[in-house]
Amino acid sequence: MSRPLKKSDSVSFRLSLRYKVALPVLILVTAMLFTLFQGTFRFVRDLVLERNERRLLSISEVFRESLKVPLSLGNQQVLEATLQWMSDRADVLEVQVENELGEVIGSTNPQPMKLPQPLALKSFSGAQRISANRYGTAVKIEMGPRPLGRLVIVFSQMSLEEELKQIFIEKMLLAFVMGSVLALTTAGVVWLALRPLFKLKRTVQEILSGNLEARADIHSFDEIQDLAEAFNEMVSRLSKSLENLRARSQALEDSEEKYRLIVDNASDIIFALSPGGEMVFLNEGFSGCSREEILEGGLELFRQLHEPSTLGRFDEALKTAREKHESVINVATAHVHRGLESEIFYLTNFTPLLDHEGQVKMIQGVMRDVTELRRIELMKESLIRDVAHELKTPTAKFEMAVHWFKRELELNPDIRKYEPVVELLRSNTDRLMRTITSIMDLSKLESGMQEIVPQELDLNLILSQAALDLEPMAAKKGLSLEMKLSKSPLKIQGDRDMLYRVFVNLINNAIKYTPKGGMTVSSYTQGGHVMAEVRDTGIGIEELDLKSIFDRFVQKTSASEGIGVGLTICRDIAVLHRAKIWAESEGLGKGSVFKVRF
């Protein structure tokens, strides 16, 4: 859950929405008015100046007419008097008359004026602004086609531009004031329009402070009211969701605490590995190492604790879980206690934990310390081997005696009447010898004393040999024994004698429990695996018995021959070859099939 927001988490400066609206309005109005006033000012200024220049030229042309007579007569005195009369005008600063050659022949100033260009050119005629308050005009004086000269007058004019600027500045200030009033009015209207939003903001702040019961009571009859109602509905739903989330979180915490206590106090060692081999969880230490030491050392330290003879099983099981996404159970491994340097025996289960894409997320492992059970099992197996061994010698002597009696029966017809008794003794002696041999073989397999001698084999050859050897037994019961073997060789790695014994046991069981019909021995490939199966039309197997029939001393019927370890031996030999054996049946009276997958 996210923590509540604090004022320190946000920017302290805030600008109200009304000012965000009013300030752009003020700036926009001011800019528009400034642009309008500036354009108007330039237009009016140019118009006034143009009219002023035309007026001054008109005055100059009137004065020009007064000078034609003195110039045509060459009367200098009258010319000077006329110039003096012209200079008496209030707005005339200086008057100057030039002849047709551009020479100054009369002036109201003892020193002739220094005129700017183009007013100084004798060919120029018109008006020119000399400075902010002075204008100069030049008009040509002509008597018909005869040029007499040029009249130049400098007028003094008040700064019309400054006056215009002053007027426009005053108007601009007035317009700015009006624009400010408009902006403030806009701000007020916006504030009234946005006032419900401020109420909504205060409600949000109350909710963020922890008051989930706060609601925005807004009646603006517009979209803001719709927004407030939707907001209130959303808060109500979120409040309910939050309560549910809190309840679920509490339940999850309680469940997590419960399972943590279970895992931490479990008698088994529980660990989890990442696909890359990193130790991500461990409930307790083992084999003389602390939990922290193993977590730090990781998988490498875990592997170092194994006996070299069992490390391969551990690695193979881990690889199967990681690459094939299959669970592996009861992997028997041995560790060396780091402190005591004694052997510790474990049974380890590996379970791949997959994500929604089917990829391995973690590999869970459960290790059970079976050292004490192993010790008891070894004692039991040792006792069984010793007993079986002790029974084997007298049984062999008894078997020899039975064979001697049988030969005596053949040589002495007088004692033929004891032949059924001798045959009964022989049959039971053979059965006892087979029982002793089976117990010793099973003991060797389960104790790990029996090791396979792997070599490359053709499964078809082993199946053919087993079927041919048992065909007379099937024919004696009137059963058919059919072979449907793969046309191409099926190469596997294994021990020939052990695998031969597996299929002899399976075919022998099929003959034993098939009253009529027959058996079919098949071999084929399926999904990258080499398969072998023995199918019969016998009495079938109930669904509840499909797994238990591979347990020790389990027999289909109490009257069956043997002690019920044949399928157990088959299972243990299959495990040694990293193969899987199982039975399938549709029920009683519908036959069965035993399959072996390499």
So where are the chain's domains?
14-214, 266-369, 376-446, 452-597
CATH of 452-597 given 3.40.50.300, 3.30.565.10, 2.60.40.1120, 3.30.1330.40: 3.30.565.10
- The pLDDT value recorded for residue 162 is 66
Q: Residue 559: its pLDDT value, please?
A: 40
At residue 392, the pLDDT reads 62
Q: What is the DSSP letter of 538?
A: S
* Residue 526: CA count within 13 A, CB half-sphere: 10
Pairing of strands 92-98, 279-282: unpaired
Count CA atoms closer than 13 A to 82's CA, side-chain side.
20
pLDDT at 5: 46
Closest to 493 (Cα-Cα) out of 523, 462, 456, 450 = 456
Q: What is the pLDDT of residue 525?
A: 92
Can you tell me the distance from the alpha carbon of 446 to that of 451, in angstroms, rounded to the nearest whole number?
11
Of 514, 512, 493, nearest to 504 by C-alpha is 512
pTM for this predicted structure: 0.40
Check if the beta carbon of residue 572 is closer than 8 Å to that of residue 442.
yes
Query: Tokens representing 83?
Result: 């110039």
At 392, the amino acid letter reads K
- Give the chain's end-to-end CA distance (angstroms, integer): 53
Max intra-chain CA distance, the chain: 204
Residue 92 φ then ψ, to 5°: -95, 125
pLDDT of residue 560: 47
- The CA-atom distances, in angstroms, between 502 and each of 59, 114, 475, 566, 572 are 141, 136, 21, 9, 10
User: How is residue 264 written in tokens?
Assistant: 């931490």
- The reply to whether domains 266-369 and 452-597 share a CATH topology is no
Map residue 112 onto helix, strand or coil. coil
Residues 448, 452: Cα–Cα separation, whole Å = 10
Instruction: Tell me the torsion sign for CA atoms 463, 465, 466, 472.
Output: positive
The pLDDT value recorded for residue 464 is 92
Concatenating the DSSP letter of every residue in 347-407 gives: EEEEEEEE-TTS-EEEEEEEEEE-HHHHHHHHHHHHHHHHHHHHHHHHHHHHHHHHHHHHH
Q: Which residues contact residue 477 at a Cβ distance below 8 angstroms, ignoring those fewer than 6 apart? A: 511, 514
- Taking the C-alpha atoms of residue 485 and residue 555, their distance in angstroms, rounded to an integer, is 30
pLDDT in tens, the chain (598 residues): 444 444 444 445 666 666 676 677 777 877 787 787 777 777 777 777 778 788 888 888 888 888 888 888 888 888 888 888 888 888 888 888 888 888 888 888 877 777 788 888 888 888 888 877 788 888 888 888 888 888 888 888 665 566 667 777 777 777 777 877 877 777 777 777 777 877 888 888 888 888 878 888 888 777 878 888 888 888 888 888 888 888 888 888 887 777 777 777 777 888 888 888 888 888 888 888 888 888 888 888 888 888 888 888 888 888 888 888 888 888 888 888 887 778 888 888 999 998 888 888 899 988 888 887 777 766 766 666 666 666 666 767 766 777 777 777 777 777 667 677 767 776 666 666 666 665 665 555 555 545 567 789 999 999 999 899 889 889 988 999 999 999 899 999 888 888 888 898 899 889 988 988 999 999 999 988 999 999 999 888 888 777 778 875 555 544 445 545 778 878 888 887 888 999 998 888 888 999 999 9
Q: Which residue is it, tokens 């061994």?
A: 389
Please provide the CATH number assigned to the domain covering 14-214: 3.30.450.20
Report the C-alpha gap between 136 and 92 in whole angstroms: 10
Dist CA 426 CA 415 (whole Å): 17
Torsion of CA 455, 461, 466, 471, to 10 degrees: -170
CATH code for the part of the protein at 266-369: 3.30.450.20
146-156 sheet: strands from edge to edge: 104-107, 92-98, 146-156, 134-143, 126-131
**pLDDT at site 449:** 47
Q: Can you give the pLDDT at residue 535?
A: 93
117, two tokens: 């260009």
Helix (H, G, I), strand (E, B) or coil at 520: strand
Q: Are 547 and 493 in contact (CB under 8 A)?
A: no
Residues whose CB is less than 8 angstroms from the CB of residue 104 and which lie 6 or more positions away in sequence, other chains included: 96, 97, 98, 112
> How high is the pLDDT of residue 155?
85
